[in-house]
Amino acid sequence: MLAREVHDPGIGFVTITRVQVTPDLQHARVYYTALGDDRARRESDRALHRAIPFLRRQIGARLRLKRVAALEFVYDQSIAGQDRIEQLLHDLHATQPTDAADAPDAADSDHDDDQR
């Protein structure tokens, strides 16, 4: 619905990552990520908030609901955290020796202890 029916160029490249709805169906927290830098993310956030009335009307019409949940858009920080962890693991792997000759040999260190 965002890609096809919301004609606000400010939305940019947004991906909905999850939605949490309260048990009484009165409030929906919509988590999203946006492609781009912080400026693009802020513009996407403003555009999503501008689209809330339209989205609520569309959801109500499609699901034939009397009352539609209040929508709250929240930028999903967990994706950025996962990207950071992945980068750290990649950096760690890149700094470790890849050649067996560069790595200390556990058998040699045990042998050195026996000779003392």
The CATH label, of 3.30.70.270, 1.20.1050.10, 3.30.300.20, 3.40.1110.10, for the domain at 2-115 is 3.30.300.20
Whether 18 and 6 have beta carbons less than 8 Å apart is answered as no
Kindly report, residue by residue over 40-94, the tens digit of the pLDDT: 889 999 999 999 999 999 998 898 878 899 999 999 887 766 677 777 787 778 8
Give the range among 37-41, 70-74, 108-112 with minimum mean pLDDT.
Answer: 108-112
pLDDT of residue 43: 92
| Residue 107, phi then psi, degrees to nearest 5 | -65, -40
Cβ proximity of 44 and 11 under 8 Å: yes
The reported pLDDT for the residue numbered 7 is 76
Q: Give phi and psi for 11, each to the nearest 5.
A: -65, -40
* pTM assigned to the model: 0.65
Q: Rounded to whole angstroms, how far apart are CA atoms 90 and 5?
A: 39
Domain locations in the chain as residue ranges: 2-115
Distance of alpha carbon 83 from alpha carbon 90, whole angstroms:
10
